[in-house]
Amino acid sequence: MGILSVRNIWGGYTGIPVIKDFSLEVHKGEFLGIIGPNGSGKSTLLKLLSRILTPSRGSILLLGEDIRGMDQRAFARKTAFVSQDTHIYFPFSVMEITLMGRIPHLGRLQMETKRDIEIAEQALALTDVFSLKNKLIDELSSGERQRVIVSRALAQEPLLLFLDEPTAHLDIGHQIQILDLLHSLNLRNGLTIVMVLHDLNLAAEYCGRIILLNEGGIFKDGRPEEVLSYQNIEAVYKTVVVVNKNPFTGKPFVVPVSRERCRRL
C-alpha cells in the first residue's frame, strides 16, 4: 500500500462531478506532477486529496487510514498544502506566518518552543526569505508572499506535501529555486510531493512521475518521457507541439507551434 491510496472517488462542486471514478496510488518518496488543460480537474483533485473537498463516493487512504475519519490535527501533522493563491487578511509578520506551520505539533494554548522557532527559521532560510522574517506580509511582493507560504508548509514537517501551482507568481529564478528546494527535500529527506503544474517543461524536469488529466480522469500515467509525447499533448490540449529532449538533462522539452504558421507551411 502506498502513502496515499485513492479508490474510485467522485467529487466536485454543488453536486456536479469534476473528478469521476478516479483511482491513484502514490508511493512514499515519489515526486508526482499533475498536469492537464484548464477544466481537467487538477485543482479539484488536489483539494479532494488534501481534505478541502470531500468526495461524494469512494475513499482516500493516508497510510491506510481513511482521511475522512482522521482528526484534523493528526492529518495536518502528516500533510501540508500550498495553494496557488493564499489570502492573509491580517498584517502578520513573516515569522508569525511561518510559525503557524507548527500549530499541529503544539498542545492547546501551548506556546512555541525554541525548537519550533528553529524549525521555522530553517524553513525561511530554505526559501530565501529569512531576511524578511520581521516584515509584515502585506509589505511583500506576490512572489515573496508565495515563498513565505511554502515556508509555513515546510515548518509543518509533513510526510506528504501538496502544492497547487507553487511557482505561479514567481520569476524564473525563484521558480527554479523553489523547485530545486522541493527536489532536494524529496531526494534527501524522502518527502513525498504531489504538485499541480501548468508548465509542462518544469514538470518534465522535476517530477519523477506525471499524470496527465483529461475530463476528470487519467489520460496517461508514467515517467515524463512516457507522458509528454506530442501525441498525448496534442490529444488532450488540442494544440500542435514539438517535443524534443533537453540537451542538458535529456528530459522532454515541449515547444508549442502556432496553428497559423502550420497552415502557412
Sketch out the chain's domains with CATH numbers: 4-264 (3.40.50.300)
Q: What's the pLDDT score for residue 189?
A: 86
Question: What is the predicted pLDDT for the residue at 1?
Answer: 60
The CA dihedral of 11, 12, 16, 19, to the nearest 10 degrees, is: -60
The Cα–Cα gap between 67 and 60 comes to: 6
pLDDT of residue 112: 86
Half-sphere exposure of 158 (CA within 13 A, CB side): 27
Q: pLDDT tens per residue, the chain (265 residues)?
A: 689 999 999 999 887 889 999 999 999 999 999 999 999 999 999 999 999 999 999 999 999 999 999 999 999 999 999 987 767 778 899 999 999 999 999 877 778 899 999 999 999 998 889 999 999 998 888 778 888 998 999 999 999 999 999 888 788 888 888 899 899 989 988 999 999 999 999 999 999 999 999 999 999 999 999 999 999 999 999 999 999 999 999 999 999 887 766 666 5
Measured CA to CA in angstroms, residue 227 lies from 94, 112, 204, 231, 264 at distances of 39, 45, 9, 9, 29
User: In this structure, which long-range contacts are made by residues 70-73, counting pairs with CB atoms below 8 Å and at least 24 apart in sequence?
Assistant: 73/104
* DSSP-derived 3-state class of residue 216: coil
Rounded-to-integer distance, Cα 250 and Cα 240, Å? 21
How many Å is the Cα radius of gyration of the chain? 19
**CB neighbours of residue 52 within 10 Å:** 14
pLDDT at res. 261: 66
Residue 132's SS3 state is: helix
Residues written for the chain: 265
What was the pLDDT predicted at 146? 84
- Distance of alpha carbon 144 from alpha carbon 139, whole angstroms: 9
- Whole-model pTM? 0.91
| DSSP code, position 27 | -
By DSSP bridging, strand 4-13 and strand 57-62 are: antiparallel
How far, CA to CA in Å, does 243 sit from each of 5, 76, 114, 122, 222? Answer: 32, 39, 50, 39, 16
- The continuous run of DSSP H or E covering 62 comes out as strand 57-62
